[in-house]
Structure 1
């Protein structure tokens, strides 16, 4: 199979916490002949897989180095603290970073929050992943600050979470290589941005055929004086029976009467 014979496809990577199902569904409706392949990657791997051409586009967490990558910020997430259900934070609706000053705050290696200064007290070791940190929280080792979608992703019945009002937030963006902005990438950007099929970036709708204007002086009604049409002023009067020239007589000949009987 040659390169031109290979059917087109679209490869989409996404980091934990991002749910691309809605956009994938729209893609499948609009481009049923182009399969979309999903690849889950860690937060740290997302930019690298784009640079290595392992994906055409990716949902990743900001910030991202835009030296060779384009990115469209989509939304930001609330940061929450994950703690055991019997922890003090479970008794309030929200907390501040200062409220966690005496807590051991776990800081996984794949943390996506941009901290200037870590809150609370550091743990002896950093967990490798957020999933590992959640297990430590369940074991009573400390608490964990993450974007809300990650707290939902790793939800457990014995844990809860509360918003942290003054913590850094995590932004999610759609990103791709600047030098590979293909038509398929543009199609996916349009889907994510909510463009409709008939938008300027989508397929152009068929133009309606313009109505033909009637020629000058032609109103669409039969004109007076045309063959087979009645003359102006109404319908023609029918000829009286026996009037006019006899059949076969020369045109213009007068009608002859009966000869008079001679006396």
Structure 2
């Protein structure tokens, strides 16, 4: 009885606002025989998903508890404030925390920003999710500070946003169980870091190495009468030069003497010695 072969796969979890599409396309081109399963999880569930073994790696927001997990920071997002289009903030190009002193600022339970002190006036209660906070902002109850990708994810026609210049920012990272740093994990690390196939440490490199080597063309035969040995001159357009060589090892044309003194005299403009 023959054993059934299990096709390898790679499960990548990602939190809201993170778009793994560009990396998934590179994976598909580089490892077409290994399916990549994208698993969308809530903002707070990226780390638990890894620890439960439900994903091989995850795109999460820092901080991450590094106990048993590895994490590579990938990029930092701009923080924006979301508000109704008819809000007075719409007249500003950028907003500071001080500008929000008189506004209710929502701080949902799944907030991805680390605040030392919350800006603005506190809401009566914290919304459960960012999506819930967006609904309250649309109702004109207050404003919300989020990474720009979340503002785009929850886009509404009646809302807009502006960049915050002095608010905390969210960092996105690739994380995976430290003891399960497999070849496929290494391959995905290489993809998010922009490594080429040849510089990758995973299966992509193995596949590239399995390609047959390119045959080297044998050197072309030299034609009779061409320069040889130390007297070869530098080639111009692929043809050997016939005058003075780069090393000075050849005999000067028009002169019968072979000594270095004779050559030096000719260079200094002395008349040639008649034989």
Tell whether the structures are fold-level matches, with TM greater than 0.5.
Answer: yes
Q: Are the structure 2 counterparts of residues 178 and 4 from structure 1 closer, same or farther at C-alpha, using a change threshold of 3 Å?
A: farther
User: Quick check: 2:187–2:200 contact (8 Å CA) kept in 1?
Assistant: no
Aligned residue runs from structure 1 range 63-212, under 5 A: 63-201=63-201, 202=205, 203-204=208-209, 206-209=212-215
DSSP 3-state at the match of 2:172: strand
Unaligned runs of 5+ in 2: 225-275
* CA distance in structure 1 between the partners assigned to 2:160 and 2:222 by the alignment: 79
- Counterpart position of 1:235: none
Structure 1 spans left out of the alignment, 5+ residues = 222-263
> Aligned with 2:174: secondary structure?
strand
Number of corresponding residues: 218
* 1:166–1:3 CA distance, 2 compared to 1 (3 A): farther
| Alpha-carbon distance in 2 for matches of 1:113, 1:4 | 47
Give how far 1:208 is off: 3.6
Contact 2:190 2:200 in 1 (8 A): no
What TM-score results when the alignment is normalised by the length of structure 1?
0.78
- The CA distance in 1 between the partners of 2:193 and 2:4, in whole Å, is 30
CA distance in 1, matches of 2:115, 2:13: 25
Does the CA-based 8 Å contact 2:81-2:146 persist in structure 1? yes
Tell me, in whole angstroms, the C-alpha distance in 2 between the residues paired with 1:55 and 1:3.
26
Q: Displacement, 1:39?
A: 0.8
Q: Structure 1 residue 66: deviation in Å?
A: 1.1
Secondary structure of 2:65's aligned partner: coil
Q: Return the alpha-carbon distance in structure 2 between the equivalents of residues 101 and 120 of structure 1.
A: 4
Cα distance in 1 for residues equivalent to 2:223 and 2:177: 61
CA displacement, residues 108-146 of structure 1 (integer Å, 9 cap, x when unaligned) = 000000100100111111111100100000001110000
Provide the secondary structure at the position in 1 that maps to 2:26. helix
TM-superposed deviation, 1:3: 8.4
1:69 is displaced (CA, Å) by: 0.9
- 2:41 alignment partner in structure 1: 41
Whether the 8 Å contact between 2:137 and 2:144 is mirrored in structure 1 is: yes
Query: Which piece of structure 1 moves more, 11-20 or 190-199?
Result: 190-199
Structure 1 residue runs of 4+, over 3 Å off? 1-4, 205-214, 218-221
Partner of 2:253: none
* Cα separation, partners in 2 of 1:187 and 1:85, compared to 1, 3 Å: same
User: For residue 58 of structure 2, what is the aligned residue in structure 1?
Assistant: 58
Task: Please give the alpha-carbon distance, in whole angstroms, between the structure 2 residues aligned to 1:107 and 1:132.
Answer: 11
The CA deviation at 1:210 is 5.3
Q: CA 1:210 to 1:128, structure 2 compared with 1: closer, same or farther past 3 Å?
A: same
Query: Alignment partner of 1:34: what SS?
Result: coil
From the superposition, tell whether residues 32 and 85 of structure 1 become closer, same or farther in structure 2 (CA, over 3 Å): same
Could you state the TM-score of these two structures normalised by the residue count of structure 2?
A: 0.74
- Calculate the aligned-residue CA RMSD, in Å: 2.2
Could you tell which deviates more after superposition, 108-117 or 187-196? 187-196
Structure-1 separation of matches of 2:74 and 2:214: 36
